[in-house]
Amino acid sequence: MIKERHYIHGDQMEGDPSRFYCSACDVFFTEDHFFGQGEKCCNHWDRYDSAIKMLGKSEKNHRDFGRSINSPNVFRS
């Protein structure tokens, strides 16, 4: 069981499905922040990929980090 929820880049906010976590800004934003045409705060795909590689495919790693392996994320459909 997850005691405290932690988010990786792009994870959907619990309680507000219209917002997603940006680890570069440490703020929840709408999808436009990640896919809009304006100036980017970071390479969003690289941040997401790095977090997923760090956690791997182990449910235990994700659970120990504080998130479900199936957490909704703006970069996964």
Is the confidence at residue 23, as pLDDT, over 70? yes
Percent of the chain with pLDDT over 70: 95
Q: Please list the alpha-helical segments (H only) found in the chain.
A: 32-35, 44-55, 59-65
The whole model's pTM is what? 0.90
**pLDDT score for 10:** 98
- Find all residues with CB under 8 Å of 45, minimum gap 6, and list them: 75
